[in-house]
A and B are shown apart, each in its own frame.
Chain A
Amino acid sequence: MTSKPAKLNRRSEIATPDSRGVHVLVSVTQMVAGTLERDAVLDAAMDAAAEAMNAEACSILLNDPVTGELCFHLVKGERTDGLDSARICVDDDSIAGWVAAHQEPLLIPDAYDDARFNPAYDKKTGFHTQSVICVPLVAKEKELGVIQVLNRRDGESFDADDLELCQAVASLIAVAIHNAEEHAARLQAERVAVVGQTIAGLAHCIKNILNGLNGGSYIIDQNLGKGDPERAKRGWAMVKRNMGLLSNIVLDMLSYTKSRKPALNPTPVNRLCEDIVALLEGQAREGNVTLAAQLSDDIDEVDVDEAALKRSLINLVGNAIDASKEKQGTVTLETALENGSDRFTLTVRDTGCGMPPEVVEKIFNPFFSTKGNKGTGLGLAVTKKIVEEHSGVLEVESTLGEGTAFIITLPVRQKQA
């Protein structure tokens, strides 16, 4: 790599222009390839470019699709107050506007000598613009805006090498912006689709609850006063049951959508497990299922949100009981300390009907339910969310016809955020 002799004198303290350029391009390319966080990429790329070109200030101006004007998206350097609200028309009244209008790069050695230069921003900020490089930002034929680089620190004006480097960086930055916008559009489309699916799932659940409420009230009407009081009581029980289901759905929906920090408190986890067994014993017996706890003596108190964890375990144990009814199987709730002791596991293991792989794949999806009308489909999604909010992991192992195990792994100690 050779440098031109005339430049060597001026820049003997810095690396040669060519190697500088390659270095900047390599690091900017890595940034563009590495992350989709658009603003982080732009920030780092502009830092690299400004350093390589030894510039006092630089900025990225992006097109506002609504007004067609340019606005400052990123500004680096001193004296930048007041630029945030600046809007620059795409016309010949400023260097940036001219570049955007003509889609041609400009290298201006002395700004105040150039008719296109608009001193208004200097007046606003107190900055004194000397030399300017301004290049268009274009990706896939879409005009995104411009990049401006101002004032070489050594007092000399920018030259053709600087212009070339700036154009190369601009290409990469344009690609980064374009990729980030496509990614955001894709995510948005996915979100819309998920919301649509969720609403359909919700409507289905609520329709079934309405059916139960209609049924209960119809039966009460039929039997109030005249008719069979026993039937009226059953009708009322139906109404109450469905009100409970509705309440569960709402609670599940709220749990699922709210990003919650768990309220962590030292909790005797074995006692919590015993409470759950006691709570669900009746349900297990009704289904001819044996419910038991296998609790490790090595664990005492752990930092968890007791209410949230209780909800999760009730969900898992309830599912296990349902799955075991047909086979009259067993459900065990186990606690154990992991080797190394800073994590513990809670396992809900059943010898019930198990699940085929295609079901296991979907069980954590909201509104996916194998229970026909009874399941809201939210229970496991909520449980997974609760476990993850505890910085934990929820895993499942299942063999069709033999049984299933859900394993929650959580840290024993946690810092209260």
Chain B
Amino acid sequence: MAKVLVVDDEADAREFVRAILEPDGWEVSEAEDGVAGLAAAKTQKPDLIVLDVQMPRQDGFVTFGELIKDPDTADCKVVMLTGVGEKMGIKFDSDSMGDFLGKEPDAYVEKPIDPETFKRVVAKVTGGE
């Protein structure tokens, strides 16, 4: 069974993603923030990580940066959840995270999440697993 790690500081948001992916056969685990998310990703080596952008202590951008640097987690597919209109100009003041981190997340999904769109994106990113 494919494994997905949901990293979001809001329990409601994590539950929402779980409700969308579990019926499709995903094994869902959760983490409350970037630090815990990183640790969980290293141990669980999920196929997919759903990563929220706005989190206290360590936000999604920094966490993504760590994920791609670590050989244990660099191969995980990452879908970023963003509540802001543009992709990520907020943090890096640029259109592309790739400019700074050398790599872009596999996809962005805007909040509020539309379940059908989310499923399509996940299917595309993970090759329809």
Contacts and interface: CB of A to CB of B under 8 A. Distances in A.
Interface of A: 204, 207-208, 210-216, 218-219, 222, 231, 234-235, 238, 241-242, 370-374
Nearest to B11: A238
Interface in B62-82: none
B18 to A, nearest CB: 9
B10 A374 contact: yes
B19 A372 contact: no
A372 B15 contact: no
Given A370-B56, A371-B56, A214 B15 contact: no
Contacts of A222: 19, 23
29 contacts: A204-B83, A207-B112, A208-B10, A208-B13, A208-B83, A210-B111, A210-B112, A211-B13, A211-B16, A211-B111, A211-B113, A212-B13, A212-B16, A214-B16, A215-B13, A215-B113, A218-B19, A218-B115, A234-B15, A238-B16, A241-B12, A242-B12, A370-B56, A371-B56, A372-B9, A372-B54, A372-B56, A373-B13, A374-B9
B55 interface: yes
Contacts of A212: 10, 12-13, 16
Interface residues of B, number: 21
B119 to A, nearest CB: 11
Considering residues B12, B13, B54, B59, which has the most beta carbons from chain A within 10 angstroms of its beta carbon?
B12
B103 to A, nearest CB: 24
B114 interface: yes
Which 5 residue pairs spanning A and B have beta carbons closest together?
A215-B16, A210-B112, A211-B112, A372-B56, A211-B111
Interface of B: 9-10, 12-13, 15-16, 19-20, 23, 52, 54-56, 59, 83-84, 111-115
Considering residues B54, B59, B112, B115, which has the most beta carbons from chain A within 10 angstroms of its beta carbon?
B112
B35 to A, nearest CB: 12
A216 B12 contact: yes
A204 B90 CA distance: 13
Given A207-B83, A373-B9, 12 more contacts: A207-B111, A211-B83, A211-B112, A211-B113, A215-B12, A215-B15, A215-B113, A216-B12, A219-B19, A238-B12, A238-B16, A242-B12
Nearest to A207: B83
Nearest to B81: A211
A370 B12 CA distance: 19
Contacts of B23: 222
Q: Is the interface of B mostly helix, strand, loop or mixed?
A: loop
Nearest to B17: A215
A23 to B, nearest CB: 57
B55 A372 contact: yes
Contacts of A242: 12
A82 B9 CA distance: 68
A218 B16 contact: yes
Contacts of B16: 211-212, 214-216, 218-219, 238
A197 B23 CA distance: 40
A373 B114 contact: no
Contacts of B20: 218
A215 B114 CA distance: 9
A392 B107 CA distance: 50
Contacts of B15: 215, 219, 234, 238
A234 B12 CA distance: 9
B34 to A, nearest CB: 10
B118 to A, nearest CB: 10
Nearest to B13: A211
A215 B83 contact: no
Contacts of B59: 372
A314 to B, nearest CB: 21
A207 B83 CA distance: 7
Contacts of B83: 204, 207-208, 211, 373
A216 B13 CA distance: 9
Contacts of A235: 19
Nearest to B54: A372
B17 to A, nearest CB: 8
B95 to A, nearest CB: 18
Contacts of B9: 372-374
A373 B19 contact: no
A218 B23 CA distance: 12
B79 to A, nearest CB: 15
Nearest to B57: A372
A230 to B, nearest CB: 12
Contact of B10 (A210, A213, A214, A373): A373
Nearest to B56: A372
A208 B9 CA distance: 12
Nearest to B115: A218
Contacts of B54: 372-373
A232 B42 CA distance: 33
A37 B36 CA distance: 56
Contacts of A208: 10, 13, 83, 111-112
Contacts of A210: 111-112
